[in-house]
Amino acid sequence: MTGISNKKGKVKSASRLTASIKKDKVHPSDYLNYDTRFSCEDCSHFDSEKQLCTLGYNPIHHLKATQTEQFFLAGNMAFCRFLEID
In angstroms, give the least distance from the CB of 30 to ligand SF4.
Answer: 19
Q: Between residues 6 and 36, which has the closer beta carbon with respect to ligand SF4?
A: 36
As a whole number of angstroms, the distance between CA 61 and CA 43 comes to 14
- Nearer CB in complex with ligand SF4: 2/20: 20
Q: Which residues pair with 4 in a beta bridge?
A: 13
Residue closer to ligand SF4, measured from CB, 18 or 29: 18
Residues in touch with ligand SF4 (CB under 6 A): 40, 43, 45-46, 53, 55, 57, 59, 62, 80, 82-83
CB 59 within 8 A of CB 52: yes
Query: Nearest distance from residue 49's CB to ligand SF4, in Å?
Result: 13
Q: CA–CA separation, 33 vs 84, rounded Å?
A: 22
Determine contact, residues 78/67, Cβ cutoff 8 Å.
yes
